[in-house]
């Protein structure tokens, strides 16, 4: 806005109107100085974190991202506080490697491990995400680039996309303090109706009866003292943030501290965490900017036993009538719970202690009017202490006799990532209408991880907790180091500041490549045309339109030792140490290569009342790494990693924004986003190889999605007079049926959503009251109900197990024959994710208290779910490593997503 003013006038007010398409916004691209959005040929999703956090009940970085960037899918594991999610961008693109995007904080690559934490004995409960170590209140914005077309300059490891977290910086002015106090609660919504009613014989009479142990426990009907107890409490959420920012033209600062203590709905689940951040920007010279960023977090997350290994959920979901009473009519000591009672499980302690330091130093040097240079040096250091402990405890002997003498397992993991990143950009006018920008850069990334594990069991006396106090002890130690070095050259031409053409090439070498594999090269080409600024543009209702297209490549390196021939230690003859072949290795092993074409447009319509952002992408992953069986005659058993597969992802992403009402008293904002993904394996490297096993019920099969569900599909059956299934027929894959013994394994669904999106709205009244709501959905995927699998298949706890003649014959045959389509269901859901009301006190009132701004926000989360999925929770899944947690939507014995209410008081002064 340009507005003439009179010298000395102190009452000037300049109001900026929000633009639906912000073409001049500077985004992070990997080059020095950043780049205007108008010059970038690919889509960059940007989340204004500060605005979202103030208005919504945001508890983590993943909450902040969820449903706000089309094509980015957040897949949560459990409702426990302190737990995290997996992040998928534009589908699954690998058969063997991680699917997680790279994570940067203020230009430094940081640890983005998912599924960390103590591993309980069983399936495991590793549900903590390192992404959530960062405090959302310290974040200014998040930028997401989604595939190889945008991530070429980030090189190897960037094929799954890049998430950039940009933390807050100080502004010129007097010190400004901000205090935020959050108080709230979370709870298990309607547990009495959602927790399963199981069936089984009453030991007193032999009659088949139902049991809902949650209801019995709450009413006290399963206790001799008849005192009711609620299995799930209302957990208290509390958080306190204090920050100060300000500075002069030469020195600006932002300093913040945070404390949070959050309780889950189970007494043994809570988070206690401290974090701090200090960002400093110095301008020692008119040509030099120095920005330092330091963040530190430490805390403890206590988790409940879960995810198949046991715990209150296991014992409650799979309650048994024959463990409610004894034959003589007295109460059974288990009170109907499957295994241990809640108080017995509380004797097990599982926690993760974390200490994390993230620091970066960025130097920007405007060497000449045409040359800008940037150097970033930083480190991210994480130390985890993951512990599972049960002291010697005679009280748990009736339930867990093998654990009664106690044990402690501790895994300490240290991860350090170091970043050195240099780039320089030379920009000059070739002629008046043509501008050239040449960028060069080089990066060095080093990752070092160390793992020490120790285990001890059989404590000689109660009260002992250390491994050294155990009678039986064992341990291990390992470390892994990986390094990447790369360089890029990029050339961009800008014509009339309207048309931009960019080409680049990057070369990388990684320590995990095979010794016979040379450098890998990743090219890039993109174009952007702001056609609405051309003189010939004649559509008045379309006030801005940018066309864009991009092609780019990126990659992902193999596992650190996958290319190497390795040997395992063994005890040889006469107990002399020796080695035996372990992995044959592959000296020709290289990275997976992702190639992507992306086209789309950004448009502002009706005087920027409506904004549209549409993108189509086509991504191909070649040289996908696959485990292949090798001949025993080589002397090495097992498998070998090879570059063999090809995977394709295609989809459309749409983001629409609208401001239907804009008046001095009322403003109404709407946004809608939707993304599609079609995922398909094109090849497994050998025409004769059409599929490989990817885990329980999962296959990588040519022509189908990665890690898809495959099994025989039961279509018809009959029941005999006793209710036993007979004449079972399965689909033959070509329109007919055959006896199930002769039927092939068929495709039963994909594990990740084909469609996802969200609807967001906010209404501002009188500039002070803001009402908001967010609804998101995920559709087109299939989810395995592991609770039904355990209840009906294994433990005979379903009513169908006892009264089969009252049910459909196909359902009974599915249970008896354990057919996968009996426990696979559409995982589609729509969730009322967030609702909020925020009120800012008038300035005439805040000034009386010496404050600049006072805002009170009342917000709720996960209020209602629309779904036909019959299990406990359509979002819950395993997060631990392996087939179930790595790719598949598999729910079993998991606490559902909790409802939350949070009240926030923000005061600035």
If DSSP states are collapsed to H, E and C, what string results for 875-891? CCCCCCCCHHHHCCCEE
Question: Smallest Cα–Cα separation from 624: which of 603, 606, 601, 641?
Answer: 641
In this predicted structure, what is the pLDDT of residue 888? Answer: 66
Residue 277, sorted as left (phi over 0), alpha (psi -120 to 50) or beta, turns out to be beta
| 732/742 Cα distance (integer angstroms) | 8
| 446/110 Cα distance (integer angstroms) | 11
C-alpha distances (whole Å) from 186 to each of 131, 232, 551, 774, 898 are 22, 10, 45, 18, 6
Q: What are phi and psi of 533, to 5 degrees?
A: -95, 0
- Cβ count near 537 (within 10 Å): 14
What stretches in the chain show pLDDT beneath 70?
1, 10-21, 32-33, 119-125, 307-309, 880-888
In this predicted structure, what is the pLDDT of residue 694? Answer: 84
DSSP state letter for 557 = P
| 443/603 Cα distance (integer angstroms) | 35
| 417/350 Cα distance (integer angstroms) | 27
| 4/132 Cα distance (integer angstroms) | 47
Contact 462, 393 (CB under 8 A): yes
- Cβ count near 358 (within 10 Å): 25
**β-strand 725-731 against 714-719: which pairing, if any?**
antiparallel
C-alpha distances (whole Å) from 698 to each of 315, 687, 820, 887 are 28, 20, 11, 9
pTM: 0.93
Per-residue b or e along 75-91, where b marks 16 or more CB atoms closer than 10 Å to that residue's CB: bbbbbbbbbbbbbbbbb
Q: How far apart are the first and last CA of the chain?
A: 28
In this predicted structure, what is the pLDDT of residue 308? Answer: 55
User: Do you know the residue count of the chain?
Assistant: 909
């Amino acid at each position: 806005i340009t507005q003439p003013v009179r010298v000395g006038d102190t009452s000037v007010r300049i109001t900026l109107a929000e633009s639906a398409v912000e073409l001049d916004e500077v985004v992070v691209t990997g080059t020095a100085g950043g780049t205007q959005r108008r010059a970038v040929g690919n889509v960059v999703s940007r989340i204004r974190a500060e605005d979202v956090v103030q208005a919504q009940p945001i508890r983590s970085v993943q909450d902040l991202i969820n449903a706000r960037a089309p094509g980015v899918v957040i897949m949560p594991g459990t409702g426990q506080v302190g737990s995290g999610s997996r992040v998928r961008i534009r589908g699954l693109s690998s058969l063997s490697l991680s699917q997680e995007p790279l994570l940067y904080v203020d230009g430094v690559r940081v640890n983005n491990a998912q599924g960390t934490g103590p591993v309980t004995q069983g399936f495991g409960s590793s549900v903590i995400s390192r992404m959530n170590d960062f405090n959302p209140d310290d974040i200014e914005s998040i930028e997401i680039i989604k595939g190889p077309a945008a991530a070429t300059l980030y090189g190897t490891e960037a094929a799954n996309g890049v998430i950039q977290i940009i933390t807050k910086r100080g502004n010129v002015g007097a010190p400004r303090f901000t205090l935020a106090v959050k108080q709230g609660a979370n709870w298990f919504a309607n547990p009495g109706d959602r927790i399963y009613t199981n069936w089984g014989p009453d030991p007193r009479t032999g009659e088949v009866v139902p049991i809902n142990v949650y209801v019995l426990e709450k009413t006290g009907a399963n206790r001799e003292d008849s005192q009711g107890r609620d299995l799930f409490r209302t957990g208290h959420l509390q958080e306190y943030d204090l920050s100060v920012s300000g500075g002069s033209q030469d020195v600006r600062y932002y300093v913040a501290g945070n404390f949070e203590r959050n309780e889950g709905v189970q007494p043994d689940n809570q988070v206690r965490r401290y974090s701090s951040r200090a960002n400093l920007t110095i301008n020692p010279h008119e040509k030099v900017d120095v920005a330092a960023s330091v963040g530190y977090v430490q805390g403890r997350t206590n988790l409940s036993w879960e995810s198949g290994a046991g715990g209150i959920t296991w014992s409650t979901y799979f309650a048994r009538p024959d463990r409610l009473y004894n034959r003589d009519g007295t109460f059974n000591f288990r009170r109907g719970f499957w295994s241990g009672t809640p108080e017995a499980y509380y004797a097990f302690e599982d926690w993760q202690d974390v200490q994390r330091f993230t620091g970066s130093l960025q130097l920007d040097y405007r060497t000449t009017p045409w040359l800008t240079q940037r150097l970033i040096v930083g480190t991210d250091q994480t130390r985890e202490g993951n512990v599972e402990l049960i002291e010697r405890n005679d009280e748990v002997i009736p339930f867990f006799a093998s654990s009664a003498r106690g044990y402690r397992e501790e895994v300490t993991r240290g991860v350090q990532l170091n970043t050195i990143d240099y780039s320089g950009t030379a920009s000059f006018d070739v002629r008046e209408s043509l501008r050239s920008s040449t960028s060069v850069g080089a990066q060095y990334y080093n990752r070092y991880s160390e793992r020490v594990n120790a285990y001890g069991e059989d404590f000689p006396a109660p009260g002992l907790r250390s491994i050294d106090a155990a009678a039986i002890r064992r341990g291990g130690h390992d470390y892994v180091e990986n390094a990447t070095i790369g360089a890029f050259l990029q050339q961009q031409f800008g014509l009339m500041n309207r048309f931009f053409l960019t080409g680049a090439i990057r070369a990388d070498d990684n320590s995990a490549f095979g010794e016979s594999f040379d450098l890998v090269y990743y090219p890039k080409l993109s174009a952007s045309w702001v056609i609405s600024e051309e003189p010939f543009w004649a559509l008045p209702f379309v006030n801005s339109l940018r066309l864009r297209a991009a092609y780019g490549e990126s990659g992902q390196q193999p596992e650190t030792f996958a290319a190497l021939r390795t040997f395992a230690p063994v005890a040889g003859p006469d107990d002399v140490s020796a080695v035996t072949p372990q992995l044959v290795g592959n000296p020709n092993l290289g990275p997976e290569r992702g190639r992507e074409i992306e086209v789309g447009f950004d448009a502002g319509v009706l005087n920027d009342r409506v904004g549209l952002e549409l993108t189509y992408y086509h991504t191909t992953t070649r040289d996908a790494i696959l485990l292949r069986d090798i001949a025993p005659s080589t002397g090495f058993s097992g498998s070998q990693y090879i570059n063999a597969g090809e995977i394709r992802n295609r989809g459309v992403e749409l983001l629409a924004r609208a401001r239907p009402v804009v008046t001095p008293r009322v403003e109404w904002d709407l946004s809608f986003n939707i993304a599609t993904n079609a995922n398909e394996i094109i090849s497994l490297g050998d025409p004769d190889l059409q599929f490989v096993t990817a885990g329980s019920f999962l296959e990588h099969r040519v022509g189908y999605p990665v890690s898809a569900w495959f099994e025989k599909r039961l279509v018809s059956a009959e029941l005999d007079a006793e209710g036993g299934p007979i004449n079972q027929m399965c689909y033959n894959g070509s329109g007919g049926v055959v006896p199930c013994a002769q039927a092939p394994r068929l495709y039963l669904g994909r594990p990740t959503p084909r469609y996802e999106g969200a609807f967001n709205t906010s209404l501002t009244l009188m500039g002070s009251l803001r009402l908001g709501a967010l609804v998101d959905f995920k559709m087109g995927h299939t989810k395995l109900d592991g609770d039904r699998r355990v209840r009906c298949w294994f433990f005979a706890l379903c009513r169908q197990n006892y009264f089969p003649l009252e049910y459909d014959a196909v359902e009974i045959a599915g249970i008896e024959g354990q057919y996968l389509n009996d426990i696979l269901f559409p995982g589609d859901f729509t969730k009322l994710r967030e609702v909020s009301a925020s009120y800012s006190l008038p300035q005439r009132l805040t000034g009386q208290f010496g404050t600049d701004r006072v805002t009170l926000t009342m917000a709720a989360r996960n209020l209602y779910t629309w779904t036909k999925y019959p299990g406990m929770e359509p979002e819950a899944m395993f997060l631990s490593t392996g087939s179930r947690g790595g790719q598949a939507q598999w729910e079993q014995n998991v606490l559902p997503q909790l409802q939350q209410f949070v009240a926030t008081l923000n005061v600035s002064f």
